[in-house]
């Protein structure tokens, strides 16, 4: 073999090694950037307070825009309005609205939106969307 062939082989080998080194996985990114919640999420303690503070406000989901997410009607409005899909939680309308896959992410403007609202809603639906 000539020196030129050996030199090209070394360059190709070095390039291959550099590419392989740069392809290592260093982090895992959750799907939709939604961290998993493994604790029990309840409607009364976890979901309804968020809906009351961020959604059931004047001009929004307090009766003027469906669904009515006021404390007295929120669970039934979500359940009976087909906003929840426990067999495929990520395709639930309420989750699609929250994550912005239906339109702008809800709550609109999100000044009162806790950073984990999407994860809480997804966990609650995944856990069966119980009225607990």
pLDDT of residue 38: 82
103-116, pLDDT tens digit by residue?
887 877 655 445 57
Cβ 122 vs Cβ 81: under 8 Å? no
Q: Could you tell me if 129 and 86 are in contact, meaning their C-beta atoms sit under 8 angstroms apart? A: yes
Question: Residues with Cβ < 8 Å from 126, sequence gap 6 or more?
Answer: 86, 89
State both tokens at 3: 């020196």
Query: What mean pLDDT comes out for the span 63-80?
Result: 93
Spell out the alpha helix ranges (H) of the chain. Answer: 3-22, 48-54, 74-80, 93-99, 117-126
Residue 53 phi, psi (nearest 5) = -75, -35
- Flag whether pLDDT at 101 surpasses 70: yes
């Amino acid at each position: 073999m000539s020196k030129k062939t050996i030199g090209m082989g070394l360059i190709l080998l070095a390039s291959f090694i550099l590419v392989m080194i740069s392809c290592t996985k260093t982090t895992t990114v959750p799907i939709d950037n939604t961290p998993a919640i493994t604790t029990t999420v309840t409607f009364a303690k976890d979901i309804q307070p968020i809906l009351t503070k961020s959604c059931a406000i004047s001009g929004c989901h307090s009766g003027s825009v469906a669904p009515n997410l006021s404390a007295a009607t929120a669970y039934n409005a979500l359940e009976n309005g087909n906003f929840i899909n426990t067999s495929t939680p990520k395709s639930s309308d309420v989750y699609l609205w929250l994550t912005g896959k239906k339109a702008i992410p809800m709550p609109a403007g999100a000044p009162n939106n806790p950073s984990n609202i999407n994860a809480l809603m997804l966990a609650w639906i995944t856990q069966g969307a119980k009225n607990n």
